[in-house]
């Protein structure tokens, strides 16, 4: 447990440090934010290795508090959006709190929470980077076709790998459904709400699939 807590906070403060340094190296705020976005999702892997009960909720609660303070007082500028109406940096750790409550508390299946966390981290994070760099065809609002396609493929691969390890049942079909669901949530959500809708709905859809 103590190793898990140490690694959790080491990850968080390392990412905060990265978010402070990268803008000084002329890395864009958007790319900096997405590097942190992807990095923090790996916390769920730490959680699955070192926590087997609701003690796992301590780090994401701390993340939520620290991210709120950063949002409120602009402490870690590299992770903050210029538009203060967008609350993605607060929604992200809040989603982790809910996923821990759901997957550790009710289900005792932490990997279900990891599906949502990693679909958000890698799927949404890389999709934004790819879409900004290569996106030419708009799909919906400011979302691009290649960005959404990347979101689907990366979410599929992420879910597929987790299911191979933890529950290899109907993994192709279930991975497609989860990836499609996450992609739609990311496509239609705005103002940072995808940091809530993508992980929570992705995990919940998978949960529904295995109990039907």
Q: Is the pLDDT of residue 145 over 90?
A: yes
* Chain segment 29-48, per-residue pLDDT in tens: 889 999 999 999 999 999 99
pLDDT of residue 163: 98
Owner of token pair 């400011």: 142
109 conformational bin, left if phi > 0, alpha if psi -120 to 50, beta if neither: beta
Cα 169 from chain centre: 24
pLDDT of residue 90: 93
**Mean pLDDT, residues 150-173:** 98
Owner of token pair 């796992």: 56
pLDDT of residue 190: 86
Q: What is the pTM of this model?
A: 0.95
Domain boundaries, the chain: 2-211
Rounded CA gap, 134 and 189, in Å? 21
Where does the pLDDT of residue 149 fall: very low under 50, low under 70, confident under 90, or very high at 90 and above?
A: very high
Owner of token pair 């299946």: 109
């Amino acid at each position: 447990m103590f190793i898990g807590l140490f690694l959790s906070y080491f990850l968080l403060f390392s990412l905060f440090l990265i978010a402070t340094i990268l803008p000084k190296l002329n890395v864009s705020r958007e790319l900096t934010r997405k590097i942190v976005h992807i990095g923090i999702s790996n916390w769920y892997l730490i959680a699955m290795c070192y926590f087997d009960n609701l003690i796992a909720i301590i780090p994401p609660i701390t993340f939520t508090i620290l991210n709120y303070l950063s949002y409120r007082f602009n402490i870690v500028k590299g992770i903050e959006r210029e538009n203060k109406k967008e609350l993605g940096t607060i929604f992200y750790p809040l989603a982790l709190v809910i996923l821990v409550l759901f997957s550790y508390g009710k289900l005792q299946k932490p990997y279900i929470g990891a599906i949502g966390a990693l679909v958000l981290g890698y799927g949404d994070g890389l999709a934004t980077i790819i879409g900004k760099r290569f996106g030419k065809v708009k799909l919906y609002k400011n979302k691009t076709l290649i960005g959404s396609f990347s979101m689907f493929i990366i979410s599929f691969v992420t879910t597929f790998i987790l299911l191979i390890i933890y529950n290899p049942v109907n993994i192709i079909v279930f991975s497609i459904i989860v990836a499609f669901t996450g992609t739609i949530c990311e496509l239609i959500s705005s103002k940072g709400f995808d940091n809530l809708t993508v992980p929570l709905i992705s995990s919940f859809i998978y949960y529904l699939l295995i109990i039907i």
